[in-house]
A and B are shown apart, each in its own frame.
Chain A
Amino acid sequence: MRIRVGHLYPDYLNIYADRGNIAVFARRAALRGHELDVSGVSVGDELRPGEHDLLYVGGGQDREQLLVAPDLAAKGAAVQEAVAGGAALLAVCGGYQLLGRGYLGFHGEDMPGVGLFPHETVAGDRRMIGDVLLECELEPGERKTLAGFENHAGRTRLDAGAEPLGRVLAGFGNDGESGYEGCRVDHAVGTYLHGPLLPRNPWLADWLLSQALAHATGGEPPELEPLPDELEAQAHAVSAQRARDRGGRF
């Protein structure tokens, strides 16, 4: 099966090794006999809902984020339509912020958002930097952990009733106070965790691939054949331990 991936702003939003996440999708798809077809969608390019089974938006420095924000906001309706139509989406750090309703920067610069995730982000005076460990339950009864690294000045506040990606076991999370991290809407996941996120958290890559395959086939999300993931498990364990030892401290 061919999985069509739309990588938004690969030339602007790539600060935290976002290409590592794309490489994980590609390899894990290939090992199950599927092919990943990645196309870049940048400033001025049209985003057509339904053309992609999976969308990816990475993180950028403030300057790059400012440069893409108006363009991304103009693509907002298309992003919302794609997700409502069942496409999977992963947004990391800056991409996660810009897919909310908006970002109020530290120097008062306002960036419009897409409005996919029900949240708003306001810059704080101290960056929240460190290792993070989350517990997630994307499928009822299946609790899994995500280990990553966060580095953000933005405090992201979810609307009442919005679904976070996970509960913070160690680290700051969305705003350093709520005890939650990230956000989920349908098959779209937004998070501050980089590292990059997916190499050491392959279960999330598989979950997103499975949703993308469902979008591609029009059927149910398939069970993917398990992989050995030994180095992945070791890397996850070290990262999780770092979060327990030193995460969530200014």
Chain B
Amino acid sequence: MSARLAVETLAARAAARLSRLARTGGGTTIPGKLLWKLDPGAIDALAARLPQGAALVSATNGKTTTTAMVAAILGPRTRLAWNHSGANLVSGVASTLLAQRDAELGLLEVDEGALVEVARRVRPRALLLGNLFRDQLDRYGELELVAGRWRATLAALPDDTALVVNGDDPQVGDLGRDRPGTLAFGLDDPSRALPALPHAADSRHCVRCGRPYDFAAAYVGHLGDYRCPACGHARPQLDVVARDIELHGLDSASFELVLPAGTVRVRLPLPGLYNIYNAVGAAALAHSLGASLDEIRTGLEGFGAAFGRFERIVAGDKSLLVLLVKNPAGANEVVRTLVEGGAPPLLLVALNDAIADGQDVSWIWDVDLEPLLERTERLIASGGRAAELALRCTYGGLVEEALEVEPDLARALRRGLELTPPGGELVVLPTYTAMLALRDLVTEQGLVRPYWESP
């Protein structure tokens, strides 16, 4: 380590301790921000020290879970610099590299918008691109814009960077077309397809010629088996596949995982098709990083939930089930999974509109909430935009008598737990900052460890 880097590292670590002392946060990004200010090139140097290099994961949905799955696969035999709490901007990546000095491999989820900068500095040996859905248009801009940035990111990477793409996503699958050696992953089980493309499906028109695709199967949003009837642009040949899928309510799913190295049945302790996408992507990336079939299966089967994503938190003699919602495609899958698992009669939904949530809350109208609301007996609407959310729910068929509007999250949580019978589970759907606030609340009550201490 150069003398300059050493001094900066010390200063940044001190800032992390200060951040925790000051209780302003977990200190997951403050040291990175400081380092970034002191010397933007330091991140390049920190990444270059990793003996096995770094792997990056980006996507609109599922990057935290996918990255955590890869960590579960590789963790037993590799020391990782992994940003497990989802601090995925340049500063969060810098903090992670700084904190894990003896790591062998960097495993980093990266914000879609920050990927160009992070990839340029970290120079990854492997990159997973998961999916592109409409998300926080006020912050990221339109899908085409993000896809364009990703294309530029790839153009700047050397040919030997291993690329893993979701072949079921027309925009993302196309990014790997001109790079030999790209691994494409996807699902192949038409019996699990949606009856029709959902309202919020994004890439329904051919990325080449603009004609509507024919979908032989759509599994999650616009992810599926597509072909353009005009120009023939179609899903690429898949290298890593989940087939013969079984869904077991809110508890688990199982599928046959097909890898170039062989085929194995995996029982995933997470529900929902979207988590199968995460698992197949994680398997493909782990494979490209040298993991064996057995390590992949063992890692996936032993996986616990990622931060705020289908996470169960014990609260005395009751528990919370926290499912982050942040955009139409992700929220639709949460709804689908809850409904298939037997929809809960009581829900706490918290809608905030800070920058990290998206200041534009119009996305809640693109979510197909109706199948969930049909079965809801009571819904507590919370967060800064509680009234907006409540209004959306009345349009989704919920009668006003079934609604409680409580913008204050602490009071809403207390009310939700009060309505939950002993031994019961309160299902909570928070947006990102509401999820963080919720964790603070339960941490204050001593129910979970602070997030910077886990896993």
Instruction: Name A's B-contacting residues (CB within 8 A).
Output: 11-12, 14-17, 19-20, 23-24, 27, 61-64, 67, 127, 129-131, 149, 151, 194-196, 199-200, 231-232, 234-235, 237-239, 242, 246
Q: B residues near A, CB below 8 A?
A: 134, 137-138, 141-144, 199, 204-205, 210, 212, 353, 359-366, 384-385, 387-388, 390-392, 394-395, 400, 405
List the A residue with the shortest CB-CB distance to B390.
A231
B389 to chain A, nearest CB (A): 9
Q: How far is the CA of A149 from the CA of B384 in the complex (A)?
A: 16
Whether B395 and A235, one on each chain, are in contact in the complex, defined by CB atoms closer than 8 angstroms, is no
Complex Cα gap A123–B388 (Å): 31
* CA distance in complex: A149, B365 (Å): 14
Whole-angstrom distance between the Cβ of B97 and the nearest chain A Cβ: 32
Q: How far is the CB of B422 from chain A (nearest CB, A)?
A: 32
Q: Is there an interface contact between B353 and A231, defined as CB atoms closer than 8 Å? A: no
* Contact A61/B388 with A234-B405, A242-B353 known, Cβ cut-off 8 Å: no
User: What's the nearest-Cβ distance from chain B to residue A153, in Å?
Assistant: 9
**Complex contact B388–A238 (CB within 8 A):** yes
B387 touches A20 (CB 8 A): no
Using Cβ atoms and an 8 Å threshold, which residues of chain B touch A196?
362, 365
CB distance from A243 to the nearest CB of B (A): 11
Give Cα distance in the complex from A12 to B205, angstroms.
9
Contacts of A14 in B (CB 8 A): 199, 366
Complex interface: chain B residues within 8 A of A130 (CB): 138, 359
User: Could you jot down 27 A-B contacts, CB within 8 Å?
Assistant: A14-B366, A15-B134, A15-B142, A16-B362, A17-B364, A17-B366, A19-B365, A19-B366, A20-B365, A61-B142, A61-B144, A62-B142, A67-B210, A127-B141, A129-B359, A131-B359, A149-B359, A149-B361, A151-B360, A194-B360, A195-B360, A199-B391, A200-B388, A231-B387, A235-B385, A235-B391, A239-B388
Pairwise interchain contact B391-A231, C-beta atoms closer than 8 A: yes
The answer to whether B138 and A151 have CB atoms under 8 Å apart is yes
Complex Cα–Cα for A195 and B212 (A): 27
**Residues in chain B near residue A195, CB distance under 8 A:** 360-362
Asked if B362 and A200 make an inter-chain contact with CB atoms under 8 angstroms apart, the answer reads: no
Residues of B within 8 A of A63 (CB): 142, 144, 205, 210
User: Contacts A20-B362, A62-B142, A246-B359 known; A11 to B391 CB distance under 8 Å?
Assistant: no
The reply to whether B362 and A149 contact each other, CB–CB distance below 8 Å, is yes
Given A14-B199, A17-B362, A62-B144, also A199-B210 (CB < 8 A): no
Point out the residues of chain A lying under 8 angstroms from B353, CB to CB.
242
**A64-B205, A199-B395 known; A15 and B137 CB under 8 Å?**
yes
- B395 pairs with A20, CB closer than 8 A: yes
CB pair B365–A17 under 8 Å, yes or no, is yes
Closest Cβ–Cβ distance, residue B273 to chain A (whole Å): 23
CA distance A119 to B215 in the complex (A): 39
Least Cβ–Cβ distance between B454 and chain A, in angstroms? 33
Q: Please state if A234 and B143 are interface contacts (CB–CB under 8 Å).
A: no
List, in ascending order, chain B residues with CB within 8 A of A27's CB: 395
Task: Say yes or no: A238 contacts B387, CB within 8 Å.
Answer: yes
Chain B residues lying within 8 Å of A235, measured Cβ to Cβ, are 385, 387-388, 390-391
Q: Tell me which residues across on chain A come within 8 A of B365, comparing CB atoms.
A: 17, 19-20, 23, 196, 199
Residues of A within 8 A of B385 (CB): 235, 238
B387 touches A234 (CB 8 A): yes
Q: Which residue of A lies closest to B147 (CB)?
A: A63
> Once bound together, how far apart are the Cα atoms of A232 and B400, in whole Å?
12
Q: Which residues of A contact B359 (CB under 8 A)?
A: 129-131, 149, 242, 246
**CB-based contact B138/A149 at 8 Å:** yes
Asked if residues A151 and B137 are in contact (CB atoms below 8 Å), the reply is yes
For residue B374, give the distance in angstroms from its CB to the closest CB of chain A.
Answer: 16
Q: For the complex, give the distance between the alpha carbons of A19 and B362 in Å.
A: 11
Task: List the 10 shortest-distance A-B pairs measured between CB atoms, nearest first.
Answer: A17-B365, A234-B387, A20-B365, A17-B362, A61-B142, A235-B387, A235-B388, A231-B391, A149-B360, A129-B138
Nearest CB of chain A from residue B397's CB, rounded to whole Å: 11
